A and B are shown apart, each in its own frame.
Chain A
Amino acid sequence: MSFTRRRFLQTSSAVAAGAASSQLLGIRQPFAQDTMNFKPEDGAELRLLRWSKFVQGDETLWMENTKKFTEATGVPVRVDNESWEDVRPKAAVAANVGSGPDIILGWFDDPHQYPDKLVPLTDLAEYLGNKYGGWYDAAQRYGKKGDEWIGLPLGASGARVVYRQKWVQEAGFETFPTDTQGFLDVAKKLKENGHPMGMALGHGVGDANGWLHTILWGFGGKMVDEENAVVLDSPETVAALEYVKELYQYFIPGTLSWLDPNNNKVFLAGELGATINGISIWYAAKNSDDPALQEMAKDIYHAQMPVGPVGKPTELHLFTQAMVFGYTKYPNAAKEYLRFMWEKEQYEPWQLAANGYISHPLAAYAENSVWTEIPKSEPYRDCVKNMLWNGYSGELGPASAATMADYIIVDMFAQAASGERSPKDAAKYAARRAERSYR
């Protein structure tokens, strides 16, 4: 039986009532018991396009779960993997020509580029949200357009400070500082000791955008306000630019050209004291055949990204979500597949196998054993919880995508850091560029 809105309301009422009574009785019940199903169409088969693995465990468990789904439903699923930066163009082309994979795991605000080309997933998302403790705010922001869910958030490839504990302790810090001033202090000391920091300032989609948006928002700067008016040229932005300009002095040389893979390889070569990255650096070192890298892995630790003067986390992570395209002949099968993969029985082992590489968008998965069984993953637990969205604090849509694709924030920081423009001029110039997209 396919799941209708009415049935969903009945289910969610029962779930809510059950949860409330459990709380009254003092029984902890993180997961509701009810399950919804979408009946796959006769003869259904699915094609899924997703990004290539960053860590092997992700792909292995994803395929195992997919196999389980096929065994349970008889629906074959072909999974294609593409380099993560190629997924967005392919999804865009699929939306434009009306043909391609039934489901695509895309990035950031992809669903907001072509919302009317997607199958609404409201019933599924509301069911999952009710069952698993609710969606984090940023996940809702990315997944919903108005009241309708157009994407199903999978989570975020979280970014955290990845550092060498021994060198940080030698620099005089028992734990890694979590505020921007402390971050600057440790950068200075690490440089003095010959183990500098380094973060991408080139056109790296994930890394450069990630840490620089975090700094910008941490100082109170932002691209646009809630009305989508460009407010980038502000004293807060200038303060953030001055901060990065100073920080850049303590970086390893060459970061202006760094793309996403650069910091991974420099860190693993033993030349970086700290960087901002996903869990993949530690994962690669830990699973390497090289004893030196295995030894290095023992000294690699993770910490929160710096919190700026605004006093709360303002992070941007590489967010990914599933889209079901309107041209699919098997929307029910697609939704059933997503439901199956997002359920605790599949999601938690998958997240564990990936060592927490993808941070969850559903609050209940904060209880996943990955965060306790693998203590070095724990700092990644709250990535989505602490996250804002690209184009903050305006709407997600063509303009937010265009400004990010044009690297306006990244170039602004790179200009200030390299001295090509003063912080004030860099902010003005970037605001003018942003106004083109928000016209």
Chain B
Amino acid sequence: MAVDVQQPSARAAAHAPSRISRIGQSKGFLSFWFMLPAAALLLLFLAYPLALGVWLGFTDARIGQAGTFIGLENYEWLMEDPVFWLAVFNTFLYTVVASIIKFGLGLWLALLLNHHLPFKALLRAIVLLPWIVPTVLSAIAFWWIYDAQFSIISWSLVKLGLIDHYIDFLGDPANARASVIAANIWRGIPFVAITLLAGLQTIPQSLYEAALIDGASPWQRFRYVTFPMLTPIIAVVMTFSVLFTFTDFQLIYVLTRGGPLNATHLMATLSFQRAIPGGYLGEGAAIAVSMIPFLLGAILFSYFGLQRRRWQQGGGD
């Protein structure tokens, strides 16, 4: 009797999943489809505006006119523009000073709140307040606080007999820089403090107990336990803090519009001023694009900070 050798394989073929269904069940294929909406959103709302901004920086686009490609001309003009360089200087000063102080005060506040304090929940809520209040509202409050004629600070100091004249907070270039930095610090501290507090609470208590048994002083416990364990979160917090500070706009816009004498103009405010009220979209875009290298630097800072966590967990840098 002849054996039908084809039969089993034909049956197998009849039951085997089709090529399409095999592709459909493939992990890679599914992952691709699940990723696609997110990738589309990123391309549409992040990559496209960024690319458009970079392109505009190479054009002479004005409001209502597409503009033509002019290469690096906008950047060459900016190189010769003293106001641009003043804005670059102001932005760095603003970012560096505000970020360092926000970090110092935020860490101190986080350490305080990490202790068992009475009304801890209430205190944490109060600390968060400056972060919750819309920036424009806090800026208006500071506008009154710094007012040349109605400042509560000046009024108090005069009443206490400590000064004779009201302080010109926003009218003097040096004072104005210090004043806007102080406002930014006030607003930014809660973000640093609360995030570092979250980080502090993830540190195992056993490490502190071990350090105590070894006779470590409070400073040594901070230096050898708290700080190393907090490093990854510090890297992330400071990256965001630097990014927020570097790109600040609202505080300056409400308080000074970049004045007096452009002493408080940041790159973000100058970019807006040149692009929208000034009409030179290309030049405004070029100023905004000039911020990218510095922002990338901040992201790299975060990247290396996170690498350190891998090192802490036993991996290599």
Contact = CB atoms under 8 A, between A and B. Distances in A.
A415 interface: yes
A202 interface: yes
Interface string A243-269: 000000000111111110010011001
Contacts of B170: 202, 254, 257
Interface stretch (B98-106, B225-233, B256-264, B296-304): B256-264
Interface string A387-409: 00000000000100110011100
Interface in A257-298: 257-259, 262, 265-266, 269, 271
A39 interface: no
A19 to B, nearest CB: 39
Interface string B150-173: 100000000000000110111111
A211 to B, nearest CB: 16
B189 to A, nearest CB: 25
Given A114-B65, A254-B149, A406 B256 contact: no
A405 B165 contact: no
A436 interface: yes
Contacts of A203: 256-260
Interface stretch (A24-32, A87-95, A186-194): A87-95
Contacts of B149: 252, 254, 265-266, 269, 271
Interface string B259-297: 111100000000001101111110000000000000000
Contacts of A201: 260
Contacts of B83: 406, 433
Given A92-B63, A401-B279, A436-B77, A253 B148 contact: yes
A113 B63 contact: yes
Interface residues of B, number: 38
Given A257-B170, A269-B150, A411-B262, A88 B64 contact: no
Contacts of B65: 114
Interface string A80-98: 0000000011001101100
Contacts of A437: 278, 280
Majority DSSP secondary structure for residues of B touching A: loop
A117 B168 contact: no
B124 interface: no
A316 interface: no
A41 interface: no
Contacts of A420: 173, 261
Nearest to A266: B149
B148 A96 contact: no
B237 interface: no
A414 interface: yes
B62 interface: yes
A204 B171 CA distance: 13
A256 B278 contact: no
Interface in B208-265: 256-262
B64 A113 contact: yes
B176 interface: yes
A95 B257 contact: no
A116 interface: yes
Interface in A137-179: none
Nearest to B65: A114
Contacts of B4: none
B81 interface: yes
Given A113-B63, A202-B171, A257 B259 contact: yes
Contact of B62 (A398, A411, A415, A436): A398
**Most chain B Cβ neighbours within 10 Å, of A255, A257, A398, A437:** A257
A418 interface: yes
A415 to B, nearest CB: 6
A436 B81 contact: yes
The interface centre, meaning the residue of B82, B168, B273, B280 with most chain A CB atoms within 10 A of its CB, is B280
Contacts of A271: 149
A397 B241 CA distance: 40
A202 B261 CA distance: 8
Residue of B77, B80, B165, B261 contacting most chain A CB atoms (<10 Å): B261
A89 B276 contact: yes
B259 A256 contact: yes
Contacts of A93: 276
A117 B257 contact: no
A257 B261 contact: no
A411 B63 contact: no
A254 B259 contact: no
Contact of B279 (A254, A405, A418): A405
Nearest to B273: A405
Nearest to B66: A96
Interface in B22-63: 62-63
A254 B63 contact: no
Contacts of A114: 63-65
A254 B276 contact: no
Interface string A54-95: 000000000000000000000000000000000011001101
Interface string B70-106: 0000000100111100000000000000000000000
A257 B166 contact: no
B278 A405 contact: yes
A92 B150 contact: no
A402 B280 contact: yes
A166 B261 CA distance: 35
Given A259-B257, A420-B261, A254 B171 contact: yes
Interface string B163-188: 00110111111001000000000000
Nearest to B175: A257
A414 B261 contact: yes
A201 to B, nearest CB: 7
A256 B62 CA distance: 31
A402 B261 contact: no
B151 to A, nearest CB: 9
B165 to A, nearest CB: 7
A437 B77 CA distance: 10
Nearest to B81: A436
Given A257-B146, A257-B148, A265-B150, 14 more contacts: A95-B63, A202-B257, A256-B261, A257-B171, A258-B171, A265-B149, A402-B280, A406-B273, A414-B259, A415-B261, A418-B261, A420-B173, A433-B82, A437-B278
24 contacts: A88-B276, A89-B276, A113-B63, A202-B257, A203-B256, A253-B168, A254-B168, A254-B171, A256-B261, A257-B146, A257-B259, A258-B148, A258-B171, A398-B279, A401-B278, A402-B278, A402-B279, A402-B280, A405-B277, A406-B274, A415-B261, A418-B261, A433-B81, A436-B81
Interface of B: 62-65, 77, 80-83, 146-150, 165-166, 168-173, 176, 256-262, 273-274, 276-281
